[in-house]
Amino acid sequence: MDRVALRGLKARGHHGVFPAERAEGQTFVVDLVMGLDSRAAAAGDDLGKTVHYGVVAEEVVGLVQGEPVDLIETLAERIAEQCLRHEAVREVEVCVHKPDAPITVPFDDVTITITRSRV
């Protein structure tokens, strides 16, 4: 399976379990790796036979900026579901970073990584 990756998509969202996270929001970063077969697209030089990563990027940012959820696990699941709506995408790995998570000790990042595929 071929891979199309989008790394470092950034958007401000209001996800989290604490009231301050919901009120103030914070930056989330999303990495995607979408699995597909790109041979038909390459053979015909045809965007319609692959995934339009610009569209996917806009959709992902819309989800991060959209309806708040408590857990980044839920956000990752929503992103995976959206990616799999694209016909060419057979599977997707989604990593959601929450670098400003409300943790009381020094840390670099908090992430959840999920992999989903068509049934």
Q: 95 Cβ partners below 8 Å, 6+ apart? A: 30, 31, 32, 76, 111, 112, 113
pTM of this structure:
0.95
Domain span holding position 79? 2-117
Whether residue 46 has pLDDT greater than 90: yes
Whether residue 118 has pLDDT greater than 80: yes
- Helix/strand/coil for 1: coil
**Is residue 10 among the annotated active site residues?**
no
- Average pLDDT score over residue span 42-69: 97
The chain-wide mean pLDDT, for the chain, equals 97
Say how many domains are in the chain.
1
Candidate list 78, 86, 97, 98, residue with the active-site label:
98
- Which pLDDT does position 119 carry in this prediction? 73
Whether residue 113 has pLDDT greater than 90: yes
CATH of the domain at 82: 3.30.1130.10
